Amino acid sequence: MKLMLAHARAALLCAGCIFAAPAAAQAPYPNKSIRIVSPYPPGGSTSVYAQFVASPLMDAWGKQVLIDNRGGGNTLIGSDHVAKSTPDGYTLMVVTTTHVIVPQLMKTPYDPFRDFTPVSTIGRSELILGVHPSLPVRNLKEFIALAKARPGELNYGTSGSGSVTHLAVELFRLEAGINMTRIPYKGSGPQITAFMGGEIEVYLNAAVNIAPLIKANRARALGITGEQRHPSFPSVPTFAEAGLPSYKPTSWSGLLAPAGLPRPILDKLSQEIMRAQRSPEYAAKMRAYGVEPFVNTPEQFTELMKVDSGRYARVIKDANIRMD
């Protein structure tokens, strides 16, 4: 009799498990913490962009949003990890324009389009050309003249081979007709450290990275991309004003998920990020870093990536860029 009762209890427990599993699966998203992967070391612009996503999601949903820096391999390590993750909305990734550039320069274990779901753009940052205060130049024309007088002697850094900043500097060199020596770093954080230490004299990067150096007078800004002066840097002339009107690269950031993300979760994520970007308080926080809110639907973000993939393919060809 005791044996029969034990079997009956076990059967009831199993039945409870069977009915509990669908109920748990149907719990509304999100019902646990979310992880945002940055495929770069900490300290660079993607860490800031990730925080721009994490903060409004935590405020809106009351769930913890963790930032997971997985730098290395020119973004391959973090990107491949996310590409192979479960598409349930709990593993996301912040990327920059570099996401569509690296696969054109080296073989990657993932496809930048097929293996990811574009969720939303986050922000758009103009690029600023800054030089170390030790250089005897005050404007872009003086800098170009100095670089031409000292070919190959000036050092510039890039946040990884094939990054948008790498291609932006190569494009600048082509437009200005100058030759400099490139020193690659594993992200914007190490690049900033090298610039402050005088290891490199030239720093062309997203405004979000160089803004603190400019405000602390540790970098002299010579030009900024964009059609008009940036409100956060009113004293910095555009490249057109400074004498190089043909130079027009930009840098955006966005949020991706693994391919196959269910549409209801995609819509919830995308709509919440776009709602936050339209908030005056949120926009003010971004602009303090030199970043403009950049609102795009998943479909618009997909198209943007395709357009920029073609645009930078031409730069790679014209500058004869090779991966180190």
What are the sequence ranges of the domains in the chain? 34-124+251-319, 127-242
Q: Coil, helix or strand for 103?
A: helix
Name which of 121, 79, 133, 42 is nearest 258 in CA terms: 79
Q: Does the pLDDT value for residue 109 go beyond 50? A: yes
The whole-number pLDDT of residue 178 equals 95
Place of tokens 């995308």: 270
Residue 316, pLDDT score = 87
Q: Collect all residues with Cβ–Cβ distance below 8 Å to 150 and sequence separation of at least 6.
A: none
**pLDDT surpassing 90 at residue 259:** yes
pLDDT score of 42: 84
Instruction: Identify the residue with better confidence: 210 or 3.
Output: 210
CA 257/CA 119 separation, integer angstroms? 7
- Is a pLDDT exceeding 90 seen at residue 41? no
**Stretch among 4-13, 34-43, 81-90 having the lowest mean pLDDT:** 4-13
**For domain 127-242, which CATH number applies: 3.40.50.1000, 3.40.50.10490, 3.40.190.10, 3.30.565.10?**
3.40.190.10
CA distance 21 to 24: 5
Residue with tokens 């996401």: 99
Q: What is the mean pLDDT of residues 122-136?
A: 92
103 has a pLDDT exceeding 50 = yes
| Span 217-225, average pLDDT | 93
pLDDT value at position 158? 83
Most trustworthy range by pLDDT among 47-51, 132-136, 210-214, 285-289: 132-136
Asked whether the predicted pLDDT for residue 189 surpasses 70, the reply is yes
For 237-244, what is the mean pLDDT?
95
34-124+251-319 and 127-242 have identical folds: yes
Q: Residue 211: what pLDDT?
A: 81
Q: What does the DSSP assignment read for 272-309?
A: HHHHHHTSHHHHHHHHTTTEEE----HHHHHHHHHHHH
pLDDT at 1 over 80: no
Between strands 34-38 and 91-96, the pairing is parallel
3-state secondary structure of 261: coil
Q: What angle do CA 242, 244, 246 make, to 5 degrees?
A: 140
What average pLDDT does this structure show over 178-183? 93
- pLDDT at position 26: 59
Q: What is the pLDDT of residue 81?
A: 98
Q: What percent of the chain has pLDDT over 70?
A: 91
* Comparison of pLDDT for 83 and 71, the residue scoring more: 83
Determine the Cα–Cα distance for residues 181 and 161; give it in Å rounded to an integer: 13
Is residue 224's pLDDT more than 90?
Answer: yes
Place of tokens 């949003």: 65
Given this structure, which CATH class describes domain 34-124+251-319? alpha beta
Least confident among 21-35, 183-197, 222-236, 305-319: 21-35
Residue 324's pLDDT band (cuts 50, 70, 90): low
